[in-house]
Amino acid sequence: MFSAIGILLASISAQPGLGLGIGYLDGAAGVELRAELGLTGEVFQLKLAAPLRGLFLPDEGLSFRSSDWDELGDYSALLESLRVGDARLGLRGGRLLLTAGHGTVVDDYRAGGHPDHPAAGLSGHWRSKRYSGLIAMDRISDPGLIFGTLRVALKNLEETSVWVPSSAITIAADPRPAAPQSRGLDGRIAIDLESLWRFSGYQVGLYTDGVMGLGPQWAYRSRLHGGLMANWQEGKWLVGLRAEGRRSGDGLPAGPYDNLYALFRYEEGFVRPAASDALGFGLSLKLQQRALGDLTLRFASDPHGDEAMQRIETMLRATVDKKAAVYLAAGTWETGREPPSWYAQGEGRMALGSGLAGWLRLRRMRRQIDGNERAVVDLLVGLSAAISVRAQ
C-alpha cells in the first residue's frame, strides 16, 4: 500500500508560486497579492489560486477589499482549473465555458467568470460511438445554473457515414434567477433534432429546437428555433457558421443562459425582455485553429415592441506554443429601456522564463461600490513566479 502511495506521489509535479499585480480597481490604485499552486499528474491537472486585493484610498491609505471574501463562492473560486480524463470521459472544473445542445438554452455561459461573484464551476462529460452526455453546474458552492444534456445519434459518429441524424434533450434550471423574475426557479427544457451531412472537408446540417419554460415565471411558455449550420476546413483553420430564425408566441426569452446573463445577472438594472411573436434571428461565425484557439462573432435580434433586444458580441480564446494564453470578450446590447450598454472582459498570461509568467486582467462593467451601482474599468498587470517540485 505504501509503495503504491509512493509511486502515485512520485508521478505528481507540484508548482507553488506567488504573484504580484498592480493597476486600478474600482477607480482607485490597487494591488493584488496572489498565492498559486499547480499540481500535475498522469491523468489530471489542478491549479489553485488565492488572491488578496487592496486599494490605495486618499484618506485611508491601503485598504484591503473584504468584499472579495464575503461569499461562499469566493472560497470555491480558489479552484482555478481542473482537468481529469480525456475527450471520451472526463471532469472539468474552474472558470468554464459551457454550451448545451445547439445553444438555444446554454450558449458559452462562462461559469465563475463574474469578477465580483467568482466561483468554480464543474462539468462532467461522456462520449461513445452514438451517445454523448454532459452535466454541469456553474458554482460548486451555491449553484446558480444546473443543467444536463444527452444526445443520441442514429449512426456511428466515428464512421464515415454521409448522413448522420441525431436528437438531444437538454434540461437547465436556475434556482436564483435574474430580473424580472423574483421567486422560484427559472428553467428550460429543449428537444433538438438535427440532420447532418458530412463530406470531404466540410459539413452541412439543418436543425430545429423546441424550447419550453419551467418554473412559475415562464412555465409552459415555448419558443421554436430553426436554422442552418456549416463547418468547413480552410487550410489549418476550421470555419463554423450558424444562422437561425426563432420566435415565441407567448413571450419566452431567447438564449437565457449565455455570457451576457453570466456577467450581468447580479445587476439591478439588467432585465431579460420577453419576446414577441415577431421573427427574431441569430448569426454566429466561429474561426478555430486547434493549435491556436478560436474566435467567435455573434449577432442577435429578438423583437418585442420598444423593448427589442439586439446584441453584438465577440469572444477570443487563444494559446501560443503553450507559453501564452488569452481570453477576451466584449459586446454591446440594447433592450429599448435604456441607452446601449457595453462590456469588456479579458485575461491573459504569458510565460517569460523558467517558472516566471506575466499576467493581465481587464474588465469594464458595473458593480456595487459603497452601496451604489456604477460602471468601472479595472486593469491589473502582474508577475507570478513558481518553482517545480516532484516527490522523490
pLDDT digits (tens, 9 = 90+) for 184-221: 788 999 999 999 998 888 899 999 999 999 988 888 89
For residue 88, give the 3-state DSSP assignment.
coil
User: Is residue 335 very low, low, confident or very high in pLDDT (cuts 50, 70, 90)?
Assistant: confident
291 lies in which domain range?
Answer: 71-353
Tell me if 179 is assigned to some domain.
yes
Half-sphere exposure for 84 (CA within 13 Å, toward CB): 10
Instruction: Dump the DSSP string for 204-239.
Output: EEEEEEEEEEESTTTTT-EEEEEEEEEEEEETTEEE
Q: Write 41-47 long-range contacts (CB < 8 A, 24+).
A: 41/8, 41/11, 41/12, 41/13, 42/11, 43/84, 43/85, 44/82, 44/83, 44/84, 45/81, 45/82, 45/83, 46/79, 46/81, 46/82, 46/83, 47/79, 47/80, 47/81, 47/82, 47/94
Whether 113 has a pLDDT exceeding 90, the answer reads: no
Tell me if 47 is assigned to some domain.
no
Tell me if 192 is assigned to some domain.
yes
Tell me if 105 is assigned to some domain.
yes
User: Is residue 2 very low, low, confident or very high in pLDDT (cuts 50, 70, 90)?
Assistant: very low
Tell me if 374 is assigned to some domain.
no
pLDDT digits (tens, 9 = 90+) for 253-310: 887 898 888 887 777 667 777 777 788 899 999 999 888 899 999 999 887 666 678 8
Give the other-Cβ count within 10 Å of 63's Cβ: 12
Q: How far apart are CA 23 and CA 362, in angstroms?
A: 10
Measuring CA to CA, how many Å separate 147 from each of 75, 138, 250? 22, 9, 24
Task: Kindly state the greatest CA–CA separation across the chain.
Answer: 70
Tell me if 122 is assigned to some domain.
yes
Tell me if 376 is assigned to some domain.
no
Q: Residue 83: beta bridge partners?
A: 45, 92
pLDDT over 90 for what percent of the chain? 43
pLDDT of residue 4: 46
Whether 8 has a pLDDT exceeding 50, the answer reads: no
Q: With beta carbons less than 8 A apart as the criterion, state whether 69 and 77 touch.
A: no
pLDDT of residue 308: 72
Q: What is the mean pLDDT of residues 240-264?
A: 87
pLDDT of residue 181: 64
Q: What is the mean pLDDT of residues 132-153?
A: 93
How far does CA 38 lie from the centroid of its chain?
22
The count of domains in the chain is 1
Tell me if 32 is assigned to some domain.
no
Rounded to two decimals, what is the model's pTM?
0.86
Q: How far apart are CA 220 and CA 31, in angstroms?
A: 49
List all residues 6 or more positions away from 160 whose beta carbon is below 8 Å from its beta carbon.
198
CATH number for the domain harbouring residue 211:
2.40.160
User: Is residue 160 very low, low, confident or very high in pLDDT (cuts 50, 70, 90)?
Assistant: confident
